[in-house]
Amino acid sequence: MQIDLSGRTALVTGSTAGIGEAAAQALAAAGADVVVNGRNPDRVAEAAKQVGGRGIAADVGTAEGTAELIRQLPDVDILVNNTGIFETKPVFEIPDEDWLRFYEVNVLSGVRLARHYTPRMARRGWGRVIFVSSEAGVQTPTDMVQYGMTKTAQLAVSRGMAQEVAGTGVTVNCVLPGPTMSDGVLAMFDELYPGLDPGEQEQRYLAENRAAASLLKRLIRPHEVASMITYVASVQASATTGRALGVDGGLVPTILP
C-alpha cells in the first residue's frame, strides 16, 4: 500500500518532539505539506526545517494562541490534535487549577481547532481530523486521573464530531497510544529511576507500572504511533471514522476496538 498525501496540508500540534514530531515527519514523507506547531519559536523552526515544512509558534493550550495559529493558517486538510500534557499526582491532591489546565490544554486545544477547520473541510468534501488520545482514556491510570479524564473526553468529542460531519468526506478519529518512549516519558523516568540508563528505566517501568500488561513487553516508539496517524490521514482510511484506534501494544485487555 502506497500512501500519497501530495497536495494535502497537514497541521500537527505539539510537533517539536515525541509523537508529534514523528507524525510530522511521517506525513511529510508521505508527501503532505506539513505545518509544525509548538510554543518555542526556535524549536518550531528547527522541527519545520527537519521536515521541510512550515512552522507556526503558538500556544494552542490557550484561546489566544489558537486564534493566532488560525490567523496564520486559515485552512488545512489534515488536523492532528497532538498537543498534550501529563503528570503523576495522587488524585485527592490535584487542585482545581490542575484539572482546568489539563482540560484546556488536552481537550479544548483540539476542540477549538476542529471547530474552525472541520466545517471548512466538509464544505470542500474531504478532510481528516485526528485526536491523539491514549489508552489512558479507556483504563484510567490511578496516578494520572486528571490526564485520563482528558483522554476519555477526547473520545467523546471525536465521536460526536464524526457524527456531525457524516457523509461529507471528512473523517474524525482518535488514535490511542500506549506508554510511549517520548521526551516527556524519558524525563519522567529520570525522576522515577535516577541514575539508570534508558533501557534499565524502561524495564523497571514495565515491571512496576500498568505497562506490565503490554503484549509487546516494551514501550511504544513514536514512529509506530506516527504510522497509524499517517494511515488514518490517508485516502485508504476513508471508511474509518468515529473510531478509537489502539496503538498500545495490546496493553488494553479487550477484543473490541
Q: Return the C-alpha cell found at 5.
A: 498525501
Q: Return the C-alpha cell found at 30.
A: 508521505
Question: Quick one: which of 163, 160, 168 has its CA closest to 127?
Answer: 168
The CA distances from residue 219 to 25, 135, 202, in Å, are 20, 13, 7
Active-site hit among 147, 193, 205, 231: 147
* Residue 16 near residue 58 (C-beta atoms within 8 A): no
Q: Return the C-alpha cell found at 45.
A: 523552526
User: 167 in the Ramachandran plot: left (φ > 0), alpha (ψ -120 to 50) or beta?
Assistant: left
- Span between the terminal Cα atoms of the chain, in Å: 22
* Residue reference for cell 509548538: 38
Q: Return the C-alpha cell found at 2.
A: 502506497
* Residue 230 near residue 24 (C-beta atoms within 8 A): no
For this structure, is 231 an active site residue?
A: no
Q: So which residues are the catalytic ones?
A: 147
